[in-house]
Structures are given as structure tokens and as C-alpha cells.
Chains A and B, each alone.
Chain A
Amino acid sequence: MSPLSERFLADLAAAAVAEGLADAVFCRLSTPIGKLLVVQGPLGVCRVGFAEDPEDALLADVASLLGPRILAADRELATTRDALQAYFEAGEDPGVPVDLRLVRSPFRRQVLETLHAEVHAGQVVTYAGLAARAGYPRAARATGTACATNPVPVIVPCHRVLPGGGGVGSYGGGPARKRALLELEGALPRPLGV
């Protein structure tokens, strides 16, 4: 049984998008921190998954928010792909719109929106500092939970939020990825190669 060709899949997705049949589109990107799954709806990127995140469940989450007509469509995501590619090459903010409606808690959404709008590449902030910026100065711990459940990692930069006591702290994608992103942005000194 011969598999469907890439060309067939790309044509199918393009025909569906042209007819207005896509609730969301996604692509798979190879990056220095491994494969990323990037899902985008009409308002912006709503989900980014790391290589180890189960794809079907992740896409089903997006389907429950935006509708089930979700297609792989590299061409339709060209702008977002280019922006992320540039980010991984130069460490500059990708500057793509995000849709944080998968974050159901208003508090967590507020924290992540503040983080996305105010903490740029090359900068870092503590959990307490981000809590204060978001208008909840006593909620440092809950701010940590908001970052840990961020549905759009890398683009909404929860990797730039550090514990007050030093070190890089924890990260949804693992501390090694967090350190790699901070080094890429120049916020952490790169270790000397051996």
C-alpha cells in the first residue's frame, strides 16, 4: 500500500483552505530544541507543542476550541514559519500574533498576555516580578503555574521567567530547553565549548 504523497497532502490542504474549510492549520518545524508543532487559528498561534507532546491529543484540544477542521498546511503558515526560523537563527522576538483562548483562567491568561507583551528577547523576569507587572503582586506562585501551563511556549516566552533565588528553574519543555533558549537570546552566557 503506497502512502499518500506530500504533494497530495499539500494540494488537499490548499484546496480546503481556499474554500474556507480550515478552522486551524498546523506545521511541524525542525529547530535547535527539537521538533515543534505550531498550530494557528484565525487570531494567531494558539498552541505550540514539543516533540514529546502527544500530537493527537494536542490537536484535539485545539479542535475543542476552534473546531475540528484542522489541517497540516506549510504554505499557509509561511509567515509564522519564517518568523520562528529567524528567531532560532538570530534570537530576536518572532513577533507573531497569539491566541491565548486555550487558557481558560482569566488570571493565567492575564499573566501570559503581560509576559508576551512586555518581556522581550534578551530580557528575563522573576516570577514575583511578572506577577507584579500583571497586577497581582502577591501571586508569584500562581504565576509559576500560569507559566507551567502556557499553551504557546517559545512564542509566549515563559522561558524568560526565572526563580528569584537564582538558577533557570523549571520549564514545561525541561530545563535544558529553557537554558538553550536563554543562551540563544543572549540572556545567559553560552558555556565554553570543550
Chain B
Amino acid sequence: MDVTTSGRLPAFWTLVEAHGDELLHHARRLAGEAEAEDVLQTALLRALRAYPGLRHAEHLRAWLYRITTTTAMDVHRARRREVLTAAPPEPAAHDPALDLALGEFERLIASLPSASRTVLRLRFVDDLDYDDLAAALGCSPVAARQRVSTAVRALRKELAPA
């Protein structure tokens, strides 16, 4: 449920209190328990900076989902750079089997365009349903479903024996 019904922007805190819990949940799925609060704080500060410039008060919940998603990906990229530049690498603190599976997944999708990789990660690694995926990508659930199926088709083509 969106908290806005009229055209004017609600107080920012009204949004935080209405959607903060589900955004934290979303950040956990994207970034893991340890990083979730940092990701969400960074995302909400980004949102706050942009908030007065919004020209209408529609889709604010989806807008916050999108900023949280983008922030989680930025943090993910920054961490990966840290891991690549730091030697020796930190021993993995999580389930090695999961790491292996994730590594395998990343290897499978490596040749796809970055937009397709993002869609596939959100759908199959983060396990977002099509409504959440739509909010995260800033599109409709129908468009989200189309993007997943396009990405899956591209992956099939990629993996098909030549």
C-alpha cells in the first residue's frame, strides 16, 4: 500500500515508517544480514537528497525499492573490488557449498549483458517474486516477467551446443 493519495509529497518520515520494515527485508535479501542496515541507511539518505526534486507523489514505495536495489548493487560492486585488490582474500565466512553454487551461477551468466545478469540474480539468487522484482527494477510486473524470460532465453542460447 502506498501512503500517498493526494498530489503533494508526504513527509519523508511517513514513508520511512510505512515502508522501512519491508525495505530492510528487501535489503537483507539483496545484501545479506550483515550489510542490510548499511545498505538501507545509504539508500534512504540517497532518497532524502533526491526527495524535494520529485515532481509528483506517485509510486514512492517502488521508487524506494529501486534506490535500495541500486545501492545494494553498488555496495556489492565496491566489495568485489575490495576483494579483488586485497591479498590474501578473507576466508569465506559463509556456506562454502552456497559459494560454489553462486560461483557456478555467475560463471554461467558471465557472458550475458549486465542488465540480464542483474535480472537473473534478483529472480533466482535473491528469489524476488515478480511484484518485488518489478518494484526493484522500476517497471510493471508484466515487464519484469518479460525481462526474466528474455534473459533466460539469452542464457539458453548462450549455453546451447554450437
> In the complex the two chains form, is A15's CB within 8 Å of B11's CB?
no
Nearest-neighbor residue (CB-CB) of A1 within chain B: B25
Find A68's partner among B21, B41, B51 (CB 8 Å cutoff).
B51
> In the complex the two chains form, is B45's CB within 8 Å of A59's CB?
no
> In the complex the two chains form, is A70's CB within 8 Å of B41's CB?
no
Q: Which B1-26 residues sit within 8 Å CB-CB of chain A?
A: 3, 6, 8-14, 16, 20-22, 24-25
> In the complex the two chains form, is A4's CB within 8 Å of B24's CB?
yes
> In the complex the two chains form, is A15's CB within 8 Å of B8's CB?
no
Find A63's partner among B9, B41, B45 (CB 8 Å cutoff).
B9
Convert A35-71 into 0s and 1s, putting 1 for each residue whose CB lies closer than 8 angstroms to a CB of B: 0000000000000000000011001101110011111
> In the complex the two chains form, is A69's CB within 8 Å of B12's CB?
yes
Contact (A8, B41) CB under 8 Å given A1-B25, A2-B24, A59-B14:
yes
Residues on A with C-beta less than 8 A from B24 are: 1-4, 8
Find B11's partner among A2, A3, A8, A62 (CB 8 Å cutoff).
A62
Residues on A with C-beta less than 8 A from B25 are: 1-2
Nearest-neighbor residue (CB-CB) of A56 within chain B: B14
A69 to B10, CA, bound (A): 9
A176 at the B interface (CB under 8 A)? no
Find B10's partner among A2, A4, A15, A60 (CB 8 Å cutoff).
A60
Residues on B with C-beta less than 8 A from A16 are: 45, 48
> In the complex the two chains form, is B45's CB within 8 Å of A12's CB?
yes
> In the complex the two chains form, is B8's CB within 8 Å of A71's CB?
no
> In the complex the two chains form, is A59's CB within 8 Å of B13's CB?
yes
B126 at the A interface (CB under 8 A)? no
A89 at the B interface (CB under 8 A)? no
What are 19 A-B residue pairs whose CB atoms fall within 8 Å in the complex?
A1-B24, A2-B21, A3-B21, A4-B24, A8-B40, A11-B41, A16-B45, A16-B48, A21-B45, A26-B13, A55-B14, A56-B3, A60-B8, A60-B11, A63-B8, A67-B52, A69-B51, A69-B52, A70-B13
Query: A: which residues have CB within 8 A of B?
Result: 1-4, 8-9, 11-12, 15-16, 19, 21, 23, 26, 55-56, 59-60, 62-64, 67-72
Closest 6 CB pairs of A and B: A59-B11, A70-B11, A68-B9, A4-B20, A1-B25, A3-B21
